[in-house]
Each structure stands twice: as structure tokens, then as C-alpha cells.
């Protein structure tokens, strides 16, 4: 059931059916709108969370038999429940988040990037980074052979050293998921798929839902969706929220990564707002980029997103994962990201469940550096396998 019914219903089109549901005005909850500051006062130990969609009994049944499932509302603690009540409440909440000073966040990111990670701590970081890779191929030219080759690489990133960890997941287009699923059955490696009219997100909700369904039915264990940046930049946060919530509902237990495409959001303030918007709508992961837009994952952007998941956990008790994707090509870069994870969000995020790298060429550099740490000498790229 969408929150911003009126908004969507006015936009007649393929999606209008899902909007044709009456919705009570929850103005009474507006007093809950608060700055993040207040969240801390209320603390994590708030009473049992209430479902946002609790008021369903007061609503008429859906009038349309659209194939779109009624999305269960993300469960939020009471002090946050009101912020998604309507468009203006959501807007006030997102714009009430503390601003981000670009000079400050960039200098902090640069300073943290000077951490010197050596010896055992470097080896630990390399292994951890390998286990966090979402090994990705997202080309128009992805053939079954290419996907199979990628899956083989995921299973045994370094055939010469079986102690090398497996990667976390492979990431492919929805129509290539079934191939990956067959290749990776029983390995424990996840299958992530980019759905929702990736990478632009410029299509109707019903198509995005169908895209998502295709990925899941083909065996995807994780869905990487893109937000509608155009709608976000137009200030229609409610529509973006609804779309994420609808995709999340379609995902069910499948973990949902929400790609913010930070390179198109442009400002750190927008990155912070989009991060909170995605988490409010039920994201399991917030992800920087599609990899198709430059700049992609930068350290300052990751700082802002790590602050968001840290603050979100303080406010709700729930830990959301983070995934930088695009532009991380060297082990050195990856270790810098891990240092940021460690010192900005906290050690609890140093886990493939809570942090991933969306990358393709990164894996081989991690392997080369790992071999160097173990053997003491450098290896050329011809000594590691290409996917």
C-alpha cells in the first residue's frame, strides 16, 4: 500500500493502479518529526516498534486487482513512524537532518586515508576485502560463458592458493541470474542482481517490479535496485520512498540494496537525505553507485553513508549494510574504505554481511597483494586468473 497515494494517483499511467487506495491522513503523527538530535534522547530501547501500516483496518480494501503486491510497511520505532506519514512530513524530516560541510568531510576522509596498514593487519584486511567483493559483470555483452567464467572466479578467486576466501556474491543482470544460480548452487556465494531498469531507473514501477521478480524467481539472493534520481532531485521524496518500499515488498526476505547513484545526487546533503530515505523505506543495504556514472564510490561519500547507517542504528537499533561500487580498483583503495568503515561506522560493520565492494578488477589486485604479503614478493597480473 503506497503512502503517497494521491501523488501517484494523479499521475495516470501504468502505475496508477497501485495508487488507488485510500489513505488516512496521519497528521496527528507530525509532532514526531524531529531532528536526529531528538532521536538520541529517546534511545534505542524504545517500546516495541509499530508497523507503519498498522492502520490498515481503517482503510477500504484495494480497489484494483493489479498484480502489484501490497507492500508491508517497514517497521519503524514510534518516534520515527510519523516522518513517513506524508510528503511534507518526509520532506521536513529529510531537510531537518544536519547538513554536511563538504570541506570538513573531505578533509576528514583524506586524513583517515593516511592510516598505515601493515603486516598482519594488512593481510587480515585483504582477506576481509576479498570476502566482501560482489564480483560484478554488467555489460550488454554478458554471455552465458562470461557469467560462468565469473562464477568460477568467485568460487576460487586464486586457484593457486585454496586458503583464499570466496567472494561474497556475484552481481549480474536479471536475465543472467539463472546461469549464475546453476553455477553457484551449494557454494554459499550470493547472487546479486541489478533490477529496476538499471542503471537509469527510468521506467514504470510495474516494469521495475517485474524486473525484480524476474531476478528473484531466477534465483537471486540479493537485489540491487536504483532509486529514481530524477524524482529525488525534483524533490518528490514520497514517490522515491514508495518505489523503494514497493520493491522491498516484492523482495520479501531477499536482501535489498538501494543504489543512490551519488554521482548524480551531487551534494553530500543529498547523499545523507537519500541514505535516510532508503533506510526509512526498508533498505537492507545502501549502495553508492551503479558504476556507470562518474564519480562513483568516493571516500567522502562513503563517510557520509557510514555516518548515516551508524546514526540509523542509534535511532532504530537496526544495522543497515553499506556497499561502495565503482571506481575501487586497488587493494590500497579497498583498505582505505575498510579503515573508514572501522573508524566511522565501527568494527561491527567489518563483516561481509554489512559491507561489500561492488567491483570487478579489484579482486585481482587484492589477490596479488595477498600473495605479496604471504610470499614477500610481487606478482604480475599474468599470474592471477582473469574472470
Partner 1 sequence: MADSTRALARRGATQGSSVTPGSVTPWEYAPAPESALIGRIKPRYRMFVGGRFVDGRGGDQATINPATESELAQVSWASADDVDDAVRAARRAYDTVWSKMSGLDRGKYLFRIARGIAERARELAVVETLDNGKPIKESRDADIPTAAAHFFYHAGWADKLEHAGFGPHPKALGVAGQVIPWNFPLLMAAWKIAPALAAGNTVVIKPAESTPLSILVLAEIMQDAGLPDGVVNIVTGAGDIGSYLVNHPGIDKVAFTGSTAVGKKIQQSLAGTGKKVTLELGGKAANIVFDDAPIDQAVEGIVNGIFFNQGHVCCAGSRLLVQESVEDEVISKLRDRIATLRLGDPMDKNTDIGAINSAEQLSKITELSAAGDAEGAHRWTSPCPVPDKGFFFPPTVFTDVSQSMRIAREEIFGPVLSVLTFRTPDEALAKANNTPYGLSAGIWTEKGSRILGMAGALRAGVVWANTFNRFDPTAAFGGYKESGFGREGGPSGLAAYLDTDSDTADEGAA
CA separation for the pair 191, 59 (Å, rounded) = 38
Residue 323 catalytic? yes
Point out which residues pair with 190 in neighbouring strands. Answer: 169
In angstroms, the CA 97 to CA 305 distance is 13
Residue with cell 570538513: 104
Determine if 156 is a binding residue for partner 1 (CB under 8 A).
no
User: Would you say 205 and 64 are in contact if contact means Cβ atoms under 8 Å apart?
Assistant: no
| Residues with Cβ within 8 Å of residue 114, at least 6 apart in sequence | none
Contact region with partner 1 (CB under 8 A), list: 13-21, 22-30, 166-174, 243-251? 166-174
Stretch that binds partner 1, among 79-87, 122-130, 242-250, 258-266 (CB under 8 A): 122-130
Shortest separation between residue 187's beta carbon and partner 1, angstroms: 8
Please say whether the beta carbons of 285 and 323 come within 8 A: yes
Q: Which stretch binds partner 1 (CB under 8 A): 57-65, 78-86, 126-134, 200-208?
A: 126-134
Under the criterion CB under 8 A, does residue 382 sit at the interface with partner 1?
Answer: no
What is the four-CA torsion angle of 71, 268, 272, 231, rounded to 10 degrees? -20
Burial of 341 (0-12, 13-18, 19+ CB in 10 A): buried
Least distance to partner 1, CB of residue 67, Å: 27
Mind giving me the DSSP string for 202-245?
-S-HHHHHHHHHHHHHTT-SEEEEE--HHHHHTT-HHHHHHHHH
- Closest CB 35 distance from partner 1, rounded Å: 8
Q: Is 182 in the site for partner 1 (CB under 8 A)?
A: no
**Which has the closest alpha carbon to 172: 142, 131, 201?**
142
Q: Does 347 bind partner 1 (CB under 8 A)?
A: yes
Q: Cα(46)–Cα(251) distance, rounded to whole angstroms? A: 28
The one-character DSSP state at 16 is H
Catalytic residue, chosen from 86, 224, 333, 365, is 224
The catalytically annotated residue of 287, 311, 333, 365 is: 287
Q: Show the binding pattern over residues 79-118: x = contacts partner 1 (CB under 8 A), - = does not.
A: -------------------xxxx-xxx-xx--x--xxxxx
The distance of closest approach from Cβ of residue 114 to partner 1 in the complex, given in angstroms and rounded to an integer, is 7
Gap between the Cα atoms of 27 and 49, Å rounded: 19
Q: Among residues 125, 135, 251, 309, which is the contact residue for partner 1, using CB under 8 A?
A: 125
Which neighbouring-strand residues pair with 134? 169, 358
Helix axes 299-316, 268-280, angle to 10 degrees: 40
Q: Show contacts with partner 1 in window 263-292 (CB under 8 A).
A: none
Query: Which residue of 76, 147, 168, 283 would you call a contact of partner 1, by CB under 8 A?
Result: 168
Q: Is residue 338 a contact point for partner 1 (CB under 8 A)? A: yes
Plot region of 21 (φ>0 → left; ψ -120 to 50 → alpha; else → beta): beta
Among 13-21, 22-30, 64-72, 185-193, the segment contacting partner 1 (CB under 8 A): 185-193
34 or 205: CB nearest partner 1: 34
Taking residues 204 to 223 in sequence order and writing x for each that binds partner 1 by CB under 8 A, - otherwise, the string is: -----------------xx-
Among residues 287, 342, 357, 359, the one that binds partner 1 under rule CB under 8 A: 342
Q: Hey, is 374 helix, strand or coil?
A: helix
Q: Does the annotation mark 153 as catalytic?
A: no
Q: Which residues bind partner 1 (CB under 8 A)?
A: 35-37, 40-41, 98-101, 103-105, 107-108, 111, 114-125, 127-128, 130-132, 165-169, 188-192, 221-222, 255, 307, 338, 342-343, 347-348, 350-354
Q: Which residues are catalytic?
A: 224, 287, 323
Amino acid at each position: 500500500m503506497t503512502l503517497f497515494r494521491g501523488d501517484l494517483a494523479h499521475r495516470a499511467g501504468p502505475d496508477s493502479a497501485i495508487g488507488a487506495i485510500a489513505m488516512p491522513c496521519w497528521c496527528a503523527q507530525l509532532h514526531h518529526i524531529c531532528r536526529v538530535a531528538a532521536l538520541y534522547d529517546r534511545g534505542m530501547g524504545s517500546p516495541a516498534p509499530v508497523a507503519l501500516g498498522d492502520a490498515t483496518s481503517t482503510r477500504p480494501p484495494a480497489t484494483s486487482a493489479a498484480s502489484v503486491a501490497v507492500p508491508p510497511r517497514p517497521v519503524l520505532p514510534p518516534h520515527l513512524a510519523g516522518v513517513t506519514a506524508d510528503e511534507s512530513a518526509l520532506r521536513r524530516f529529510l531537510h531537518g537532518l544536519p547538513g554536511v560541510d563538504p570541506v570538513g568531510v573531505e578533509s576528514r576522509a583524506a586524513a583517515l586515508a593516511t592510516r598505515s596498514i601493515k603486516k598482519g593487519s594488512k593481510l587480515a584486511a585483504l582477506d576481509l576485502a576479498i570476502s566482501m567483493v560482489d564480483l560484478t559483470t554488467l555489460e550488454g555483452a554478458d554471455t552465458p560463458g562470461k557469467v560462468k567464467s565469473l562464477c568460477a572466479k568467485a568460487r576460487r578467486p586464486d586457484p593457486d592458493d585454496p586458503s583464499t576466501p570466496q567472494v561474497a556474491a556475484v552481481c549480474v543482470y536479471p536475465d543472467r541470474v539463472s546461469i549464475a544460480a546453476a553455477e553457484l548452487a551449494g557454494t554459499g556465494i550470493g547472487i546479486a542482481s541489478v533490477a529496476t531498469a538499471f542503471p537509469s531507473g527510468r521506467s514504470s514501477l510495474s516494469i521495475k517490479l517485474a524486473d525484480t521478480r524476474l531476478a528473484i524467481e531466477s534465483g537471486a539472493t540479493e537485489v540491487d535496485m536504483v532509486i529514481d534520481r530524477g524524482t529525488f532531485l525534483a524533490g518528490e521524496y514520497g514517490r522515491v520512498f514508495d518505489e523503494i518500499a514497493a520493491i522491498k515488498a516484492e523482495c520479501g526476505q531477499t536482501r535489498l540494496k538501494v543504489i543512490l547513484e551519488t554521482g548524480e545526487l551531487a551534494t553530500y546533503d543529498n547523499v545523507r537525505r537519500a541514505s535516510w530515505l532508503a533506510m526509512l523505506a526498508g533498505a537492507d543495504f545502501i549502495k553508492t553507485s551503479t558504476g556507470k556514472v562518474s564519480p562513483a564510490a568516493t571516500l567522502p561519500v562513503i563517510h557520509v553513508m557510514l555516518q548515516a547507517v551508524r546514526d540509523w542504528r542509534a535511532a532504530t537499533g537496526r544495522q543497515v549494510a553499506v556497499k561502495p561500487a565503482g571506481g575501487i580498483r586497488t587493494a590500497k583503495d579497498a583498505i582505505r574504505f575498510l579503515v573508514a568503515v572501522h573508524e566511522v561506522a565501527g568494527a561491527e560493520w567489518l563483516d561481509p554481511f554489512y559491507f561489500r565492494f561492488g567491483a570487478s578488477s579489484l579482486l585481482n589486485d587484492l589477490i596479488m597483494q595477498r600473495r605479496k604479503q604471504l610470499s614477500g614478493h610481487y606478482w604480475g597480473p599474468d599470474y592471477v586468473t582473469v574472470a
